[in-house]
Amino acid sequence: MRGFGELESAIMQELWTAPDGATVREVFERLRTGRTIAYTTVMSTIHNLYRKGRLTRQPEGKAHRYYPTATRAEYSAEVMREALVDGGDSIAILSRFVERMSVEDAEQLQELLQRHSEGREP
């Protein structure tokens, strides 16, 4: 799995914040307020995300309503796991990752690891 491109990321952000999903038209209307973009570009990018399994859809009249197949947190965790598995030296990767964390995030990670080692849910 690879990270999203710029437009894919913008579309996913819109869909992650839309609890009832969104049609291509709705995503297009939201995106065009901040950029010049063609409806067909949004439509083809959404279709590509659907084809890649990142979105599901439900018929709605002549259109479809799209929904993410994973939450933003689930997707981010997948990307992190892939980077760890495919990145080579996992200790070096984890070390660099932790070095760049805020103190608060490092404390939360430590708490999560403690709960995990005790067999408790986060």
Question: Is the Cα torsion angle 101, 99, 76, 109 positive or negative in sign?
Answer: negative
Note the pTM of the prediction, 2 decimals: 0.78
Report the alpha-carbon distance of residue 75 to residue 39 in Å, rounded: 26
The residues, any chain, with a CB within 8 Å of residue 41's CB and separated by 6 or more, are 7
Q: Report pLDDT for 1.
A: 45
pLDDT tens digits for 45-88?
999 999 999 999 999 999 999 999 999 999 988 888 888 888 88
